[in-house]
């Protein structure tokens, strides 16, 4: 227990101390983005994900020192997250092609495959353990690319990406405790501290944006926890809002796309409220579906996302329980 608390506290502290420095540096170097859903369109520092990665570096290092037997697991987890973060950083500086990004993030799964830290016997509710020695390694690149890109696509309002990912991490932590998966619990604790701090800075009104460095690395980290901790089915349910958002967008546009290539799904009214676009060419994203029933202020729309992630979280914990009772 002492080890887990130390990991959480040090990851939290490292991100909390580094975030103001990152914000200052980004502002100084003009690495900023416009918050388009505010009337005064404030300029917000980007790439806050750097502080999350710094915090994760600290928490993973502390875990490796306290539990040296977990070094292989931690190394594959951290290397996967770091590769996704580097791809995100490149995308933040020089925008990558919409088709290249998923391919590159799939490559981030290489450490897990090369170090063979996965188990090809996933456990599903009702079905139980399944032997997938040939198919499972082929699915791992998808298990990293899908969550990292889905998380990257679900960042429409202040605090939605950070808030929903914090909930997913908590759900993975609870589920790992229910199922007795100590590896998944440890990795979730490593990620939880940095994510909580990031949510504090990113919630409405945002003081920092994650940038692709943050969203891709956080998504890859969550995918890696699902694979390394054997929480595949739980993660699919917990990720339902992110999957919904990405899937609807792709289904309406009919191909992989960059945000700049398509019409905006959300427009702003004169009073600052946000409204679903009526443009038939705009992708049907979760934000657009949320606003279809009428305009909302940004903080209200963000709250709907958090509630939705919480409901998906409850269903995911229920999935974990069903997995546990499956003979």
Partner 1 sequence: MIRRILDFVFVLLFIWACMILGLWVIDSAIVPLQLLGVTDDVMTAILKVAISGAMVLVWLWIWREMVKRMFWRAVKSQRHSVDNLQSNSQSKETAEHGKLQERQMKG
Name the site residues for partner 1 (rule: CB under 8 A).
Answer: 124-128, 135, 236-237, 240, 244, 247-248, 251, 276, 278, 284, 288-290, 292-294, 296, 300, 304, 307-308, 311-312, 315, 319, 322
Shortest Å distance, C-beta 124 to partner 1: 6
**Cβ at position 118, least distance to partner 1 in Å:** 20
The least distance separating partner 1 from the CB of residue 324, rounded to whole angstroms, comes to 14
State the minimum distance, in angstroms, from the CB of residue 122 to partner 1.
12
Whole-angstrom distance, CA of residue 244 vs CA of residue 308: 11
Pick between residue 177 and residue 315 the one whose CB is nearest to partner 1: 315
Of 228 and 276, the one with the shorter C-beta distance to partner 1 is: 276
CB of 304 to partner 1, least distance (A): 6
Q: What are phi and psi of 268, to 5 degrees?
A: -110, 135
Nearer to partner 1, 9 or 126 (CB): 126
Cβ pair 72, 112 in contact under 8 A? no
User: Smaller CB distance to partner 1: residue 172 or 312?
Assistant: 312
d(C-alpha 230, C-alpha 122), whole Å = 6
Nearest CB to partner 1, comparing residues 116 and 131:
131
Query: Which CB sits closer to partner 1, 66 or 304?
Result: 304
Beta bridge partners of 29: none
Q: Using the minimum distance from each CB to partner 1, give the nearer residue, 113 or 304.
A: 304
User: Which CB, 65 or 126, lies closer to partner 1?
Assistant: 126
Q: Which is nearer to partner 1, 196 or 240 (CB)?
A: 240
CB of 62 to partner 1, least distance (A): 36
Smallest gap, in angstroms, from Cβ of residue 174 to partner 1? 17
Q: How far is the CB of 106 from partner 1 (least distance, A)?
A: 19
The three state secondary structure string of the chain is CHHHHHHHHHHHHHHHHHHHHHHHHHHHCCCEEECCCCCCCCEEECCCHHHHHHHHHHHHHHHHHHCHHHHHHHHHHHHHHHHHHHHHHHHHHCCCCCCHHHHHHHHCCHHHHHHCCCCCCCEECCCEECCCCCHHHHHHHHHHHHHHHHHHHCCCCCCHHHHHHHHHHHHHHHHHHHHCCHHHHHHHHHHHHHHHHHHHHHCCCCCCCCHHHHHHHHHHHHHHHHHHCCCHHHHHHHCHHHHHHHHHHHHHHCCCCCHHHCCCCEEECCCCCEEECCCCCCCCCHHHHHHCCCCECHHHHHHHHHHHHHHHHHHHHHHHHHHHHCC
Shortest Å, Cβ 163 to partner 1: 15
User: Hey, what's the torsion of the CAs at 82, 87, 89, 93, to 10 degrees?
Assistant: 170
Task: State the distance between the two ends of the chain, measured CA to CA, in whole angstroms.
Answer: 29
């Amino acid at each position: 227990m002492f080890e887990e608390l130390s990991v959480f506290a040090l990851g939290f502290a490292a991100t909390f101390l580094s975030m103001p420095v990152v914000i200052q540096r980004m502002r100084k170097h003009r690495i900023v983005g416009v918050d388009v859903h505010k009337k005064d369109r404030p300029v917000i520092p980007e790439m806050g994900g750097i502080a999350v990665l710094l915090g994760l570096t600290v928490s993973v290092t502390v875990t490796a020192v306290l539990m040296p037997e977990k070094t292989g697991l931690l190394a594959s987890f951290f290397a996967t997250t770091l590769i996704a973060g580097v791809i995100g950083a490149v995308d933040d500086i020089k925008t990558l092609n919409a088709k290249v990004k998923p391919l590159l993030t799939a490559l981030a799964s290489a450490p897990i495959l090369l170090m063979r830290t996965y188990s090809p016997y996933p456990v599903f509710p009702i079905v139980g353990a399944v032997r997938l020695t040939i198919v499972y390694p082929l699915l791992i690149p998808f298990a990293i690319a899908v969550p990292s890109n889905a998380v990257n696509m679900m960042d429409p309002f202040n605090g939605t990406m950070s808030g929903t990912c914090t909930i997913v991490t908590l759900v993975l932590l609870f589920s790992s405790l229910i199922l007795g998966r100590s590896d998944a619990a440890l990795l979730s604790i490593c990620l939880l501290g940095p994510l909580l701090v990031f949510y504090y800075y990113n919630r409405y009104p945002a003081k920092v944006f994650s940038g692709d460095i943050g969203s891709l690395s956080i998504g890859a980290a969550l995918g890696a926890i699902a694979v390394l901790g054997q929480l595949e089915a739980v993660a699919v349910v917990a990720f339902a809002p992110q999957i919904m958002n990405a899937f609807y967008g792709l289904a309406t546009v009919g191909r992989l796309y960059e945000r700049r290539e398509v019409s905006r799904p959300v427009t702003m009214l004169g009073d600052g409220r946000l409204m679903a676009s009526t443009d038939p060419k705009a992708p049907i994203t979760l934000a657009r579906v949320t606003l279809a029933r009428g305009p909302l202020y940004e903080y209200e729309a963000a709250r709907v996302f958090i509630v939705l992630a919480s409901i998906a979280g409850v269903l995911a914990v229920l999935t974990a329980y069903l997995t546990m009772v499956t003979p």
